Amino acid sequence: MSEIADLFDLTGKWALVTGARGGLGQAMARALAMAGADIVGLGSTPMPETGQLIEASGRRFLGVQADLSQPNDFRALVAQMEELAGPIDILVNNAGIIRRADVLDYTEADWDVVTNVNEKNLFFLSQAVARGMVSRRFGRIINIASLLSFQGGIRVPAYTASKHAVAGLTKLMANELAASGVTVNAIAPGYMETDNTAALRADPDRQRQILERIPMGRWGVPDDLATAVLFLATPRASYVTGAIIPVDGGWLAR
């Protein structure tokens, strides 16, 4: 193996990727598998396509179903995964949802479901996985934040609040877990072509406004996150923690 490949080698590691059925989660799971990791994919529905892609690349895949909008016994869930797969070395907290409505109309039901998936259960799943990581003195937790971890956005109050929380929790967990060999970082994707942004791309005015503001002049695609996730996942990135890396075509620089 070349020295460069060695820097990013994840052979023998298990990575748990939430929301890996498609979009950004599937692309990051594939990137991790390309670097040698075996994958546990967690979602609220089965993800046969992701399983096939991972296995076709020669890695092992375990699909797990859990609804992150509901309370879960994460300690038991993680114990079950680790029994069926192996110790989780890398956790990518990617599952996330968005509900759009004007400030004056936003409902408590939308607030609760977005907050549960994007914020509350991101924390409690991380807690359950981190217990094992701390005892093994190694772990990589990678949270998927957003441009709305830094900016206000429009018509997405619960999403903006939850993504600001993801930024804060990334730093808090980084502080507490640093001495145990567990790093906690985040990726803040820009405007990416996935189901999450289908409504924006279907609105010609919003589509034009967004494109005009992206210095790269294009929407991101899921594979644009591959290098960032590998950088944060590798054991060699042992001195990087508490960072939030934008992958946004220059949006935040503008």
The residues carrying an active-site annotation are 159
Give the span between the Cα atoms of 70 and 78, in whole angstroms.
16
Give the span between the Cα atoms of 218 and 190, in whole angstroms.
10
Orientation angle between helical segments 121-136 and 74-84, nearest 10 degrees: 50
Give the span between the Cα atoms of 250 and 32, in whole angstroms.
25
Residue number of the CB closest to ligand NAP reads 96
End-to-end CA distance of the chain: 40
What are the residues binding ligand NAP (CB under 6 A)?
19, 21-25, 43-45, 67-69, 94-97, 117, 144, 146, 189, 191-192, 194-197
Cα distances from 49 to residues 30, 55, 91, in angstroms, run 11, 10, 20
CB of 225 to ligand NAP, least distance (A): 9
**CB nearer to ligand NAP: pick between 138 and 188:** 188
CB of 204 to ligand NAP, least distance (A): 18
CB of 93 to ligand NAP, least distance (A): 8
**CB nearer to ligand NAP: pick between 3 and 205:** 205
- Rg over alpha carbons for the chain, rounded to the nearest Å, is 17
* Residues 186 and 145: beta-carbon distance below 8 Å: yes
Q: Which helix (H) or strand (E) holds 166?
A: helix 157-177
Amino acid at 91: L
Which ranges constitute the DSSP H helices of 73-155? 74-84, 108-115, 121-136
CB of 252 to ligand NAP, least distance (A): 12
CB of 87 to ligand NAP, least distance (A): 22
Amino acid at 250: G
**CB nearer to ligand NAP: pick between 24 and 85:** 24
**CB nearer to ligand NAP: pick between 6 and 195:** 195
**CB nearer to ligand NAP: pick between 22 and 235:** 22
Q: Is the Cα dihedral 185, 28, 226, 56 positive or negative?
A: positive
